């Protein structure tokens, strides 16, 4: 009887082990460690060298530097678009080679200081950018072919051109563009588009000071504008651009290089010499620099995630800074330097 009891216990234990392993493994593969949808990060250093990483720790050079930092990098389908100086370049082989797109309707004005003048809008199957090629005007151009061919966007109220320096898309899929300079036809600086077939329409807004270098970003359905020069800080709108209120807590008269909301869970601002600032959920920014070297300038911010076969999603935030590349695994609460150097752009 004792032998049968022991055998029965062993059988139950074996069944438990098999059941446990079947939850964790499939065909001998540990689903907790198998990435189903890996991410890719592209980063440029101060010399214009472009590097790539899939884990944040190991970086490989994919494009040699020429002494000029790209103004923007964006992936569109299988392609990478790079804006350098005022010209656009396209790579179809992971960044090993870039071919110029000129004269295909892209010449980006060099007075735009931030990278938000180009945006991949996946739900519209379009990438938008600003072009000054046509008759000297700064117009909107878009591509529906992963950046290979471009056309001028003429679907505007009264078909009137307007200057655009930044784009963002809310969670509700409304696309916004922002004009820093005034135009002869519009008092508004803010424009919206409900779908790719809808016209651009001016948005009547209140609460924003005039004549400052604002660029767009968002956090979910909260629309955000940030003064690049840091004179007026950052403003937010919870009513789709009708009214704006100022955030508090950002340093005064410090360049605000980047504004980014990782996973629509918080808002980060990269500053000159004062690291990263993060919202506390109450309209106020506070420094969030644990692990970041003192005096660091944060030029660019991005967020990536890994989807594992067991359904677990791990989230990472990256910043390109004057002292290196940093990674956070706790939504920018703490940072770890993963690569030393002077980096200016990350996507």
SS3 letters across 300-332: EEEEEEEEECCCCEEEEEEEEECCEEEEECCCC
Q: How far apart are CA 328 and CA 337, in angstroms?
A: 9
Which pLDDT tens digit goes with each residue over 38-62? 799 999 999 999 999 999 999 999 9
Three-state SS at 19: helix
Q: Tokens for 67, please give them.
A: 């002494």
**Cα–Cα dist 40/161, whole Å:** 36
Report whether 252 contacts 240 (CB < 8 A).
Answer: no
Check whether 334 has a pLDDT greater than 60.
yes
49: which residues sit within 8 A by CB, 6+ positions away? 61, 63, 64, 65
pLDDT of res. 242: 96
Q: What is the pLDDT of residue 185?
A: 45
Residue 307: the pLDDT is 84
The phi and psi torsions of 4 (rounded to 5 degrees) equal: -65, -40
- How much is the average pLDDT of 209-237? 95
What's the CA gap between 130 and 138, in Å, rounded? 7
The superfamily (CATH) of domain 2-346 is: YVTN repeat-like/Quinoprotein amine dehydrogenase (2.130.10.10)
Q: Where are the domains of the chain?
A: 2-346
Mean residue pLDDT across the chain = 87
166: buried, middle or exposed (CB in 10 Å: 19+, 13-18, 0-12)? Answer: buried
d(CA 318, CA 54): 12
Most confident of 92-106, 222-236, 297-311: 222-236
Tell me the mean pLDDT in the region 70-97: 93
The residue among 210, 261, 254, 214 whose CA lies nearest residue 234 is 214
pLDDT digits (tens, 9 = 90+) for 280-315: 878 999 999 999 999 999 999 999 998 888 888 899
Question: CA angle, 319 as apex, 315 and 323 as ends, to 5°?
Answer: 140
Q: Residue 237 pLDDT more than 90?
A: yes
Spatial CA neighbour of 255 closest among 213, 225, 294, 290: 213
Cα–Cα distance, 200 to 198 (Å, whole number) = 7
As a whole number, mean pLDDT of residues 263-279 equals: 98
pLDDT class of 1 with cuts at 50, 70, 90: very low
* CA angle in degrees (0–180, nearest 5) for 260-336-56: 75
pLDDT at 66 over 80: yes
Indicate if the pLDDT at residue 105 is higher than 90.
no
H/E run at residue 15:
helix 2-24
């Amino acid at each position: 009887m004792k032998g049968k009891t022991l055998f029965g216990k062993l059988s139950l234990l074996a069944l438990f082990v098999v059941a446990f392993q079947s939850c964790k493994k499939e065909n001998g593969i540990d689903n907790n460690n198998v990435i189903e949808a890996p991410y890719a990060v592209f980063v440029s250093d101060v010399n214009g060298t472009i590097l790539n990483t899939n884990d944040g720790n190991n970086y490989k050079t994919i494009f040699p530097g020429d002494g000029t930092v790209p103004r923007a990098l964006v992936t569109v389908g299988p392609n990478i678009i790079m804006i350098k100086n005022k010209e656009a370049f396209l790579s179809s082989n992971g960044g090993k080679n870039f071919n110029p797109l000129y004269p295909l309707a892209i010449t980006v004005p060099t007075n735009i200081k931030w990278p938000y003048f180009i945006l991949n809008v996946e739900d519209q199957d379009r990438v938008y950018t600003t072009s000054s090629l046509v008759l000297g005007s700064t117009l909107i151009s878009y591509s529906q072919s992963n950046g290979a061919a471009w056309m001028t966007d003429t679907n505007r109220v009264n078909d009137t051109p307007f200057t655009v320096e930044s784009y963002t898309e809310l969670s509700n899929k409304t696309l916004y563009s922002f004009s820093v300079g005034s135009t002869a036809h519009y008092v508004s600086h803010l424009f919206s588009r409900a779908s790719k077939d809808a016209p651009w329409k001016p948005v009547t807004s209140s609460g924003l000071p005039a004549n400052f270098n604002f660029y767009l970003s968002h956090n979910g359905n909260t629309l955000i504008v940030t003064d690049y020069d840091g004179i007026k800080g950052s403003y937010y709108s919870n009513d789709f651009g009708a009214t704006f209120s100022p955030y508090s807590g950002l340093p005064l008269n410090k360049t605000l290089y980047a504004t980014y909301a990782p996973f629509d869970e918080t808002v980060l601002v990269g500053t000159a010499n004062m690291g990263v600032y993060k919202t506390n959920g109450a309209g106020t920014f506070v420094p969030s620099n644990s692990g970041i070297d003192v005096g660091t300038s944060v030029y660019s911010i991005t967020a990536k995630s890994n989807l594992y076969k067991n359904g677990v999603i791990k989230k990472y935030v990256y910043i390109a800074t004057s002292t290196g590349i940093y990674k956070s695994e706790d939504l920018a609460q703490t940072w770890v330097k993963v690569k030393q150097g002077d980096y200016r752009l990350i996507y």
